[in-house]
Structure 1
Amino acid sequence: MNVALIAHDNKKDDIVNLAVAYQNILKTVNLYATGTTGSRIAEATGLTIHRFQSGPYGGDQQIGAMVANDEMDLVIFLRDPLTAQPHDPDITALLRICDVHNVPVASNLATAEALIRAMEQGLINFKPRSN
């Protein structure tokens, strides 16, 4: 199972705390993240994370490409709807591609926790992988 983790600057502490709280579940899946987010999570948890470019350099688009190629099962993109910075990745394109390919996506902590817990309990039916 492949899970992507992305966060706007003001939500990086939240996604790190989420990963720390759920590291026993997250260690059972393949993790992908944008550059800075992935570095911070790996440092705090010791989890193995495939890191793409940072968001401003296209990391969110690299994750979007995995979604489009049916290589991503779940996306957690904690966004800051009130104070997003100009260099923060735009969630709109990633939300659209997740919707097109029926990939669950969380944009806030409450939904992220619900999806992680559902994943742990086998309540989410992920698409069979072609590879």
Structure 2
Amino acid sequence: MNIALIAHDKKKDDIIRFSQKYHSVLSKHELFATGTTGMRIADEADLKVTRFQSGPLGGDQQIGSKIANEEMHMVVFFRDPLTAQPHEPDISALLRLCDVHQIPVATNLAMAEIMIQALDHKDFEWKNIIEKNRKQE
């Protein structure tokens, strides 16, 4: 499964701790991340990560492109809801693409833990159901 990992500046420490805690699960999948987040996850959580540009420089859009091309299966995006983001339209577009393409997205630690534990227990049947429905259309 291809998983995107993204974090705003004030949430980077949180995504590092999350990546370290769930190293055994994440290491079984292809990981993608925006700029500094990807570098820190690779260095501090010892995970292999394909890095894109930083979010404000187009990284969110690069991940969005993967979603639109059905090449991304899950997004963990630790957002900072208390700080204005200059690239908010890009963030909104990324979240919209997740909704359009039925990609599970966690925007906080609580949801990310639920998703990663379900992934670890192989409880992600949603993708098979969606594929089956598309073939019937």
> What TM-score range do you get, normalising by the shorter chain?
over 0.9
Structure with higher Rg: it is 2
* Change over 3 Å in CA distance of 1:59–1:89 after alignment to 2: farther
Matched with 1:10 is 10
Give the RMSD, CA atoms, in angstroms. 1.7
Where has structure 1 moved over 4 Å in runs of 4 or more? 87-90
How big is the shift at 1:108?
A: 0.4
How big is the shift at 1:126?
A: 5.2
How big is the shift at 1:84?
A: 3.8
5+ residue gaps, structure 2: 132-137
Contact residue 8 and residue 89 of structure 1 kept, 8 A:
no
Taking the aligned partners of 2:94 and 2:105, their CA distance within structure 1 comes to 9
Matched with 2:81 is 81
Return the structure number with greater helix share: 2
* Change over 3 Å in CA distance of 1:93–1:14 after alignment to 2: same
Contact residue 79 and residue 91 of structure 1 kept, 8 A:
no
Q: Using the aligned pairs only, state the percent identity.
A: 59
Q: Tell whether 2:100 aligns with 1:100.
A: yes
Q: Which has the higher contact order (CA 8 A, sep 6+)?
A: 1
5+ residue gaps, structure 1: none
How big is the shift at 1:91?
A: 2.2
TM-score by length of 1: 0.92
Q: Tell whether 2:134 aligns with 1:119.
A: no
Contact residue 55 and residue 89 of structure 1 kept, 8 A:
no
